[in-house]
Structure formats: structure tokens, C-alpha cells
Structure 1
Amino acid sequence: MTTPSLLKKEVNNARAYVVFAHGAGADKDSEFIEQISIRLNQRAINVLCFNFYYMDKRLLDGKRYPPDRMPKLLSCFEQVLTQVTTELPIFLMGKSMGGRVAATIAGQVLKGVKGVICLGYPFHPQKQPQKLRLEPLQQTQLPVLVVQGDRDALGCRAEIADYQLSELCQINFLPDGDHDLKPRKKSGFSHQAHLDSAVDMIESFINEQR
């Protein structure tokens, strides 16, 4: 099994260390991950981004492979964690699918890991609200922050209100945000402002847990 591609984004005098997993369709160099990482660095938070195995394979030969099954995604994330050497409090974070993997890992207590952050959690597949993916957020042993758009097609605010989740989970909503936390122009909000707000929420969560 190959080693996942890593990308460290570090600053001096960091207060925490975030391991950031991408979503199903975009890799560690995506604009979303770049924008969040820059903002975290500005808050004195180090970030380690990585690609799941299937994504590295996709980038290598140009073929559009689907995401791996959960056991292989978990194995990849866990392998990345073995390469993290820091005395800082560690937080696992993911965009969409990456957040689901991070939350699944949180079913166990890990040395140095203080919490999990999910950006646009995929509560269910698009247009399949009956296929719920709540188990990671019900069985977590670690505090979890979910930052969700109000109108996320993979779990909107109205749907989430009826879900039974662990008391360790807190969900913060961004007005009119979609699965990428992006609002419509007519809403009066901007994507950049929502990303700023998301990082405000992340920083507050980290400060609470570390």
C-alpha cells in the first residue's frame, strides 16, 4: 500500500494541529481546502492536508476512480495519523466525505486527538434522505463540530432537526449555505464571508477543547 500524499501548511507559534481530509470529488489542493487552510494558518493553527489513496491514483493516471470503501478510507486516514509528530492538540477535520471518515475514527479515543470538525457533513446521499449516515455522529467518543449550510442537499437544517445525535455533537448552520457552504447571491451573504464564519466556529471549538 502506498503512502498518502501529504501537504503541510504550518506557522510559527501554532496553538493546534488540524489533519484535513478532502471530499469525494476534490483533492487536497482544491480551492475550498486551500481557503480554509489559509484562514486557519492566520489563526495560528497548523494544517496537514492529504489525499486518500484513490485520489492519488486518479491524479496519477487521469482516470476518474470512485472513492474507496470506508475501511480503506479509514486505513488511509489512520496511516496519516501515524506520521503526525506534534505536542500540539490534534483535531481531525474533513470536507463532506472526509468529515464522515474523521467522525467514524472518533468512535475511539485517540492519543492527542481532542475533537473532530466536519464541514458539510453528508448526512445522506443527494436525493436519498432515507439512507442516513448518522452512526458516526451517534457513536463518537470525541467532541464533534459540524458546520453545515442551511440548504445542504446532503442534510439541510430542517432535516437535521429530527436526527438523534450524540450530545458530544454540536451543529452550527450558515444561512442559505449549500454543501460547499456557499450562499446564493440573492441571500445577501457571500461565500468568502461564510468561510470566515466557518473558521470562526472552528477556532472557537478548538479553543474550547484544547
Structure 2
Amino acid sequence: MSNPPFRNIDLDQVHPGPDGLLWQHAAGKPRASLVLAHGAGAPMDSDFMQGVAERLAVRGVTVVRFEFAYMAARREDGRKRPPNPQAQLLAQWREVHARVRERVEGPLAIGGKSMGGRMASLLADELAVDALVCLGYPFHAAGKLDKPRVAHLADLKTPTLIVQGERDALGNRQTVEGYRLSSAIELCWLPAADHDLKPLKASGFTHEQHLDSAADAVAGFLRG
């Protein structure tokens, strides 16, 4: 039996805590906790983010989401904005990690979708987190194969899982296999999937199946 479709969430009905954190608690005692940041263009409660958080909670992982300042401002007035400068994004990541670390016991991982995961990857070693999880890593900007964003990934020490679609326009399998990546990085490839882990219809897979596979991989990785 397939999983039910994503819930369509009205942004006005989402109520993070007073600290701006949105918690998806694991069923029972959590095996690990994961702070998950959104991508550049969608909020922390997008269908993708909600679908991943719900699946991981069922699998014993508590997921904590937050929004970068530019996205939080968009929630207030509806105006689209570009992401904040990288230094501001990283500073906010540090603050969120510190707040969550005070509230959870056991292993704590950080990561995110696309840009959120890339920012987390720049801080993983600095923050000495237990693990890093990236969903659709932007190995390069769209159409800019000549400008890869991988220099820091060659020496990364934090155990890392990257779940990537084989036809991701920001890093497909053929391109990524040509990079020199740290031995701490494990890649989980989803057949015929794009940057949002959506497969081609002709592949025989569904998006829900791929998100289930991603959740299985992440939960297994964090348990390990």
C-alpha cells in the first residue's frame, strides 16, 4: 500500500514555537535528532520538508526545522526575497544548533534540502555534530558545471549522507562521480530522480516511494 499524498499546508496555519523552531517528534524515544534547513526557494513547511519530517519521525528521528531570516520575513508579508548573505545564513545556523543542542539528548545531526544542506556542510566540522544529512545537494549552480561547490567536501570529517537524484540538474551522478569527495561522505542515489527527488514517470517509481527510500536511508544512517 502506498503512503498517503503530502498534506497541503496553509502557511498561516503553521505555528512554530516562540523560538521559531518547528518540531516533529519521533514516535517513542528518538534514536537521533536532526536539524533540517529548507532550500533557497521554499519554506520549512513545504510539502517536501513536511513529507521528509513526517517520514523520519515514524522511523525514530526527531526533526527540528527553522527558517532563515529572509524566509521568515516572507512569511510575514508574502514578499519573495533572495537568501541572506552566506555569513548571515551561517550565523543563524550556529544559533539554531546551539538552541537545539541544549534541548535534546543523544546524537544530533544537521542538514537540509539543497541550500540548507550546503550551509550545514560548511559548519558540520566546526560544530562537531554527530552527522550531516543533505537532501539534493547543490554541487554547482544551475548551468554552471565549471564552478563546483565541492572544495570543502574533499576534507570533510563529519560522517555525511547525501541523498541525490541521478539526474539532478545541480549535480547528476556522472558529474558527481568525477569529484574528489571525502571518504566520510556516503552517497545514496535515487534512480531517475531530479533535485527534488522526483523520478521520471517512465521510471516506474513515484515521488512518495523515493521519499520513503530517502527516509529509510537517513534513518539507517543516523542509527549507524
TM-score (normalizing by structure 1): 0.93
Mapped to 2, the partners of 1:47 and 1:172 lie a distance apart of 20
Show the 5 A alignment for 1:175-190.
175-190=191-206
**C-alpha spacing 1:107/1:13, structure 2 compared with 1 (3 Å):** closer
Correspondence for 1:9 among 19, 24, 33: 24
- Runs of 4+ in structure 1 deviating by more than 6 angstroms, as ranges, are none
Which residue number in structure 1 is paired with residue 122 of structure 2? 104
**C-alpha spacing 1:153/1:107, structure 2 compared with 1 (3 Å):** same
Which residue number in structure 2 is paired with residue 82 of structure 1? 98
1:61-101: per-residue Cα shift (whole Å, max 9, x none)? Answer: 22211011211111111111121111121011200000101
- Using the aligned pairs only, state the percent identity: 43
Q: After TM superposition, give the deviation of residue 126 of structure 1 in Å.
A: 0.6
| Unaligned segments of structure 2, at least 5 residues | 1-17
Correspondence for 1:170 among 157, 177, 186: 186
Contact 1:7–1:48 (Cα < 8 Å) also in 2: yes
Q: After TM superposition, give the deviation of residue 4 of structure 1 in Å.
A: 6.5
Q: After TM superposition, give the deviation of residue 116 of structure 1 in Å.
A: 0.1
Contact 1:115–1:144 (Cα < 8 Å) also in 2: yes
Q: After TM superposition, give the deviation of residue 139 of structure 1 in Å.
A: 3.2
Contact 1:108–1:140 (Cα < 8 Å) also in 2: no
Q: Does 1:122 align with 2:138?
A: yes
| 2:176 aligned partner, one-letter code | I
Q: After TM superposition, give the deviation of residue 10 of structure 1 in Å.
A: 0.9
| 2:160 aligned partner, one-letter code | V
Which residue number in structure 1 is paired with residue 83 of structure 2? 67
Mapped to 2, the partners of 1:136 and 1:177 lie a distance apart of 25
Q: Does 1:41 align with 2:62?
A: no
Tell me the secondary structure at the aligned position of residue 108 of structure 1. helix
**C-alpha spacing 1:157/1:55, structure 2 compared with 1 (3 Å):** same
Contact 2:31–2:106 (Cα < 8 Å) also in 1: yes
Tell me the secondary structure at the aligned position of residue 106 of structure 1. helix
TM-score (normalizing by structure 2): 0.88
Contact 1:107–1:136 (Cα < 8 Å) also in 2: no
Correspondence for 1:140 among 156, 163, 170: 156
Alpha-carbon RMSD: 1.3
